[in-house]
Amino acid sequence: MIKVVIVEDDYRIAGIHEEFLDKVSGFTVAGKVLNGKDAIKIVDSKYIDLVLLDIYMPDILGTDIIHEIRTINPNIDIITISAATETEIVGEVIRNGVFDYIIKPVKMERFVETVERYKKMKHKLESKEEVDQSFLDDYFGRKTEVSSNMKQTPKGIDPLTLDKVKQIIHRIEEGITAEEMGVQIGASRTTARRYLEYLTTVDNIAAKLEYGVVGRPERKYYIK
């Protein structure tokens, strides 16, 4: 489980972020703190993987909290969630190597996409002894751009629909059938199966037969 600390001075917003986090498997909230002093204290006393950090805290500015966290444990990852949009502040935060920066008010879809991508990248990085350019492009958000500009999809595969299918299947860990995918993307089962089968040849997607309630086998697609 990825252990998370939510650093947010508004307890209601902290609760909302915790609810959003509950929608993604593999995360557990190790603590919620309302000020910078307690954020530093909990990072110093517990094993933490990820900090969800607001910038405007009542006692210590978030940029200074980042410096303190890096001093205590440089391996902790940080996702900034803040209303701060000043160029100077945002620039300093980015230069300190946060995984992502989300501007408030936060939409659930944006939040979930970020933490899912974080989980995926964290697990991939931990499983590798060395990385290649493809991994780094994916990590820094260039994979979609590279795919769109440099890699043509075959006839019958629309890049935008393909990206949507990929996002859905990466979100559903228990796997998905072509019929279920068709419902998700608003297309027929045959169309959905075409995209899913294509992904088994070009991405880390696998398919296997599963038997339903009436005993008829059905292909289900999973992340490897």
pTM above 0.75, yes or no: no
- Please report, for the chain, how many H helices and E strands are present, in that order: 10, 8
122 and 198 in a single domain? The answer is no
122 and 159 in a single domain? The answer is no
Q: What is the pLDDT of residue 212?
A: 62
Q: Total domain count for the chain?
A: 2
Query: How far is 33 from 17, CA to CA, in rounded Å?
Result: 12
218 within a domain of the structure (yes/no): yes
132 within a domain of the structure (yes/no): no
Whether 221 and 208 have beta carbons less than 8 Å apart is answered as no
* Domain ranges, residue 73: 2-126
What CATH number is given to the structural domain containing 84? 3.40.50.2300
Q: Could you read off the pLDDT tens digit of each residue along the chain, which spans 224 residues?
A: 999 999 999 999 999 999 999 999 999 999 999 999 999 999 999 999 999 999 999 999 999 999 999 999 999 999 999 999 999 999 999 999 999 999 999 999 999 999 999 999 998 888 888 888 877 877 777 655 544 444 577 888 988 899 899 989 988 888 999 999 999 999 999 999 999 999 998 877 899 888 765 567 788 998 87
118 and 157 in a single domain? The answer is no
119 and 164 in a single domain? The answer is no
Q: What is the pLDDT of residue 137?
A: 78
Q: Quick one: tokens of 172?
A: 């559903």
